[in-house]
Amino acid sequence: MSDAYIALADGRVLEARARAPGRTRGELVFTTAYTGYEESLTDPSYAEQVLTFSYPLIGNYGVRSERFESETVQPRAAIAREFTDDVAEWLAGEDVPAIDHLDTRELVTTVREEGAMACGIAAGEDVTPEDAIAEMEACKPMSDHVDIGAGVSVAEPELHEADTAGEADARIALLDCGAKGSIIESLNARGADVHVLPYDAAPADVSAVDPDVLFISNGPGDPENFVAAKEVVDAFAGELPLAGICLGQQIVASALGGDTEKMTFGHRGVNQPVKDLRTDRVVMTTQNHGYTVADPGPLEVTQINVNDDTAEGLEDEELGILTRQYHPEANPGPHDSLDFFDDVLAMADSTTEIAAD
């Protein structure tokens, strides 16, 4: 008899093996990354989701905390064809349900064909298919998680100082909508002090930092729910250089009059090809998002996804705006686009003392 079940919104209930017990629910998504499971499992952008790994064996090089992108496991549950004991024990210690010994190829195909969907998981002794179904039926759509930022953001401002000796070359005010740690580290490594602010910070909080650049981080959920972040962008657009990654790009575009939309199954993996429309250069990128910019508003689309033509880069030289839908910091993934952070810091050179309106 099985000791784990996953119920899908399409009506099916699949049997599995419990590797970490518990009952939970979330939006079922998948990643095609074949390495970087520690980084993926600690990426705040996976909040309120159930993460399926398409690569069949997860855990073959252990678990090391120095690879984590945040302090805790972020998805509601994890699924693989097979988890090693190291990963299973780690997830059990974090009280995150994990199941394996099921056909993850079928799950991935289902999500690709039908879209990211609600699911429920029940794992452990004496669970029943009805337990998983009850979890699935209680699952909310991602857009209904209106305050999802509260669960992934810092509660109070934090200062992460530059790695370089002496005075920092730049001050960055980073709105933490669910930032990966490697984004902060990438800026620190280039001589910037990073002032990490809560996702719901007010324009006055940004002004108090007196930053050279305002940076909107990645994060989970629907960008339209990050109302405070959009107000900050609106307050400083044209007055202070603006940068953003992933959710940050969507927030910036939305704040300036553009539109965003939910994708069928999103982009999640480390092999997404992106073309620069100015140079015709194609780079491989790391991505993790389920929403995209449908209308960039006043911003210019400078990079697109080769697979589906969605916006991957937005810019406005006059306003001093530079955003990317993908993750230039990688972790995991290719390092083809690390120069994004150099371009962000180059914008700081033209900064003057600014206060929000």
pLDDT in tens, 79-103: 999 999 999 999 999 999 999 999 9
Does 62 have pLDDT greater than 70? yes
Length of the chain: 357
Q: What does DSSP say about strands 321-324 and 242-245: parallel, antiparallel, or unpaired?
A: parallel
215-232 pLDDT, tens digit per residue, is 999 999 999 999 999 999
pLDDT value for 309:
98
Q: Is 221 annotated among the ligand-binding residues?
A: yes
The domain segmentation of the chain, as residue ranges, is 4-140, 148-356
Q: What does DSSP say about strands 213-216 and 192-198: parallel, antiparallel, or unpaired?
A: unpaired
Query: Domain 4-140's class?
Result: alpha beta
pLDDT value for 352:
40
Q: Is 93 annotated among the ligand-binding residues?
A: no
Q: Is 288 annotated among the ligand-binding residues?
A: yes
Which contacts qualify for 105-112: CB closer than 8 Å, 24 or more apart?
A: 105/54, 106/14, 107/14, 107/28, 107/30, 107/52, 107/79, 108/30, 108/52, 108/54, 110/8, 110/10, 111/28, 111/29, 111/30, 111/52, 111/265, 112/264, 112/265
pLDDT value for 356:
41
Q: What is the DSSP letter of 18?
A: E
In the numeric block, which tokens belong to residue 256?
């300036």
**CA atoms 313, 259, 49, 157: torsion sign:** positive
Contact between 342 and 190 (Cβ < 8 Å): yes
Average pLDDT, the chain: 96
3-state secondary structure of 350: helix
DSSP E strands: which ranges in the chain?
A: 4-8, 13-20, 22-31, 49-53, 57-58, 77-79, 82-83, 98-100, 117-123, 158-160, 170-176, 192-198, 213-216, 242-245, 259-276, 282-295, 300-305, 311-316, 321-324
Q: Is 256 annotated among the ligand-binding residues?
A: no
Q: Is 320 annotated among the ligand-binding residues?
A: no
Does 326 have pLDDT greater than 60? yes
Does 355 have pLDDT greater than 90? no
Q: Is 250 annotated among the ligand-binding residues?
A: yes
CB atoms within 10 A of CB 155: 8
Confidence of residue 349 (pLDDT cuts 50, 70, 90): confident
Which residues are catalytically annotated? 246, 327, 329
In the numeric block, which tokens belong to residue 203?
């324009």
Q: Is 36 annotated among the ligand-binding residues?
A: no
Does 50 have pLDDT greater than 70? yes
Confidence of residue 263 (pLDDT cuts 50, 70, 90): very high
Phi, psi of 117 (to 5 degrees): -140, 165
The proportion of the chain whose per-residue pLDDT surpasses 90, expressed as a percent, equals 96
pLDDT value for 164:
87
Does 1 have pLDDT greater than 90? no
Which residue from 42, 91, 92, 86 is spatially nearest to 68, judged by alpha carbons? 42
3-state secondary structure of 322: strand
Does 269 have pLDDT greater than 90? yes
Please compute the mean of the pLDDT values over residues 110-133 and round it to a whole number: 97
pLDDT value for 165:
85
Which residue type does 220 have? P
C-alpha 182/C-alpha 141 separation (Å) is: 29
272-307 pLDDT, tens digit per residue, is 999 999 999 999 999 999 999 999 999 999 999 999
3-state secondary structure of 30: strand
Which residue type does 341 have? F
C-alpha 212/C-alpha 169 separation (Å) is: 10
CATH number listed for the domain at residues 148-356: 3.40.50.880
Does 351 have pLDDT greater than 70? no
Contact between 326 and 312 (Cβ < 8 Å): yes
Tell me whether residue 71 is exposed, middle or buried, using C-beta atoms within 10 angstroms of its C-beta: 0 to 12, 13 to 18, 19 or more: exposed
Please compute the mean of the pLDDT values over residues 236-241 and round it to a whole number: 97
Does 350 have pLDDT greater than 80? no
Does 357 have pLDDT greater than 70? no
C-alpha 325/C-alpha 332 separation (Å) is: 16
Please compute the mean of the pLDDT values over residues 190-212 and round it to a whole number: 98
CA distances from 238 to 144, 301, 317 (A): 32, 18, 10
Q: Degrees (nearest 5) of the Cα angle 153, 219, 16? A: 105
Q: Is 207 annotated among the ligand-binding residues?
A: no
